[in-house]
Structures are given as structure tokens and as C-alpha cells.
Amino acid sequence: MKSPSLLENRPAGYSVVLECLARQQLAVPRSKLKRILGFPPLHPDAWPWFAGAVGEMQVGRILAKLGEEWTVLHAVPVGEGRTDIDHVVIGPAGLFTINNEAPPRCKGLGFAEGADDRRAEDGPPA
């Protein structure tokens, strides 16, 4: 397996997945009743990070379709803090940086057509 510590091996959503998992550590396991009733397993603090990871992975899949003349890097660190650039694209037309941002009122987790109108930070459907 390739080491994600090397920048060129990082998958799309790498940083937000790590943050989601860190937040998920706060979750208390669901009771059997909550599992039966379909309560979501994600801790409320992990939900926006999960939604962000899904968005970054969707963009990553699109960028993966670029030709061989393009180099795509994901989760490129900026400075010494936890800030990163979601995607850096380098190719014949130049260098581009892409940061994913959910619209103020996104259409569900995957922004799917016909999904209910809620923001990622609103959490999963009740």
C-alpha cells in the first residue's frame, strides 16, 4: 500500500476523513434499539466532516478522469497548521487550486437531485 504521508499518494478527502474519524471517537455506541430504529452512527460533531469528505471524494473522482498530462494532488498542506488545499491540478493549461465548499443549503449528502433540502451541518435525516 502506498504511504499517504507522501503527497502524491494522498487520496481525495484525506484530511477531512482523518478529522471525521477523530471526531467520531467521541461517539457513544448506539443501543440496540437505536440501531433497530435506524439512528445514525455518526457523532453530531463528525457529520459535517463526513459530508465534506464525500464532497471531496466526488470531486476527486471527476479530476481522476483528466488525461495523463495532468497531475492531481489532494489535501496539500498549507503552512504549519491544519489548513490544506483540497485539490491541486497541474497540467498544460496551468496550475489550479480547488477547495470544496458546500452551498449554504445543499441537497442532501451527495447533493442528489430530489434529496431533501438541508445543510450538511444539520446532520443526517431524522
User: What are the pLDDT digits (tens) for 39-53?
Assistant: 888 888 888 889 889
Task: Sketch the domain layout of the chain as residue ranges.
Answer: 7-122
pLDDT for residue 26: 85
- DSSP label at 73? E
User: What are the pLDDT digits (tens) for 15-65?
Assistant: 999 999 999 998 888 899 999 999 888 888 888 889 889 999 999 999 999
Contact 4, 17 (CB under 8 A): no
Q: How far apart are CA 21 and CA 29, in angstroms?
A: 14
What are the cell numbers at 29? 455506541
Q: How far apart are CA 92 and CA 94, in angstroms?
A: 6
User: What are the pLDDT digits (tens) for 62-75?
Assistant: 999 999 999 999 99
User: What are the pLDDT digits (tens) for 82-120?
Assistant: 788 999 999 999 999 999 886 555 544 443 333 334 344
- DSSP label at 30? P
Contact 65, 50 (CB under 8 A): no
